[in-house]
Amino acid sequence: MSGKDIDTTLEDGSVIHNTFTIERTYPQSPARVFAAFSNKDMVRRWRVEGEGWDIDEFTYDFRIGGGEVSRFRYQGGPEIRLDAQFQDIVPDRRIVFAYRMKIGSEPLSASLTTVEFFSSGGGTLLRHTEQGAFFDNVDSAKGREEGTRQLLDALAAELQRA
Amino acid sequence: MSGKDIDTTLEDGSVIHNTFTIERTYPQSPARVFAAFSNKDMVRRWRVEGEGWDIDEFTYDFRIGGGEVSRFRYQGGPEIRLDAQFQDIVPDRRIVFAYRMKIGSEPLSASLTTVEFFSSGGGTLLRHTEQGAFFDNVDSAKGREEGTRQLLDALAAELQRA
């Protein structure tokens, strides 16, 4: 499925559900790519920090039932808050987590994300599947897929860093 | 989307993603139907208890970030465990929760469920959307939709009870 499948026919005020899948290959092994999700410092570098972003909080407890709280803002804007909880972890194979996002006091979305790691030609095929429920508008659902592509670019840079 | 959209083309050992939506109407008001999800005793009656089921644990904390733990077994079989966390709650309008299930020590699935309540002809149109990631097999994804239909029947009986 892709962003084109976004259902815009629902009644006013209801939730927009959208699923997207992105595949990327990295030259590093599944164990190396997995570590970029399990190691708090690495996660902070490639997924939380960024030019213009202030981080107010970042907690990360990588175990099933554990979770993440991230609070950040862009150039003095409203606080964006992410609350995640890990649903399934199979080392070097897959990570499944649910997360919700809020901007200021407004709930934006809840999602279930599956990240799978496959050995591929000496490197890793990463498959990111995000099943989302969006509370505000269709643009937000579309933006999530684009934002995820940018994060997977940042992951490539993190993996080259070490 | 329906069960027919289940993706069976993925590589061995990967996750099956499936989304289904079920709509049901109930003669009671959205506030009455919502209460059957917010009230712990009502939830226990229509969604947890049942002929042949032993309940080992049922905790229910209905607030965003709160959750549910249910542990039960059918006729002396292996323990089934459900861990849920509420992602969004708008009274009388919608409830979004993530949950994972395990049978014995085997993780079975993680899901994001959206339940929406709409006024409709003096009663309620309930729309249940479940976006699931299944770890074992396609039958389990299909069974979830059928199981949900049965639960929504049990909800009708609970609503008639009061």
> Residue A106's domain is classified under what CATH number?
3.30.530.20
Supply the pLDDT for residue A136: 74
The total number of structural domains in chain A stands at 1
Q: What is the mean pLDDT of residues A20-36?
A: 97
Indicate if the pLDDT at residue B4 is higher than 80: no
- A44 falls within a domain: yes
Convert the pLDDT of each residue in B57-83 to its tens digit.
999 999 999 999 999 999 989 999 999
Residue B126, helix vs strand vs coil: strand
Q: How confident is the model at residue B140 (pLDDT cuts 50, 70, 90)?
A: confident
A15 and B65 within 8 Å at the Cβ level: the answer is no
Between CA A128 and CA A57 the distance in angstroms is: 25
Instruction: Determine the distance from the C-alpha atom of residue B48 to the mean position of all C-alpha atoms in its chain, rounded to a whole number.
Output: 10
> pTM of the predicted model, to two decimals?
0.91
CB of A29 less than 8 A from some CB of B: no
Alpha helices in chain B (DSSP H): 30-38, 40-43, 138-161
Residues of B in contact with A88 (CB under 8 A): 100, 107, 110, 133, 135
Between CA B1 and CA A58 the distance in angstroms is: 36
- A111 falls within a domain: yes
Between CA A23 and CA A118 the distance in angstroms is: 11
Residues of B in contact with A11 (CB under 8 A): 118
Shortest distance between the Cα of B45 and any Cα of chain A, in A, equals: 26
- B154 falls within a domain: yes
Between CA B5 and CA B131 the distance in angstroms is: 12
Supply the pLDDT for residue B14: 81
Convert the pLDDT of each residue in B121-138 to its tens digit.
999 999 999 999 999 776
- A132 falls within a domain: yes
Q: Which amino acid is at B69?
A: V
- A152 falls within a domain: yes
Its domain, for residue B136, covers 19-50+90-161
Instruction: Determine the distance from the C-alpha atom of residue A110 to the mean position of all C-alpha atoms in its chain, rounded to a whole number.
Output: 11
CB of B131 less than 8 A from some CB of A: yes
Residues of A in contact with B85 (CB under 8 A): 85, 98
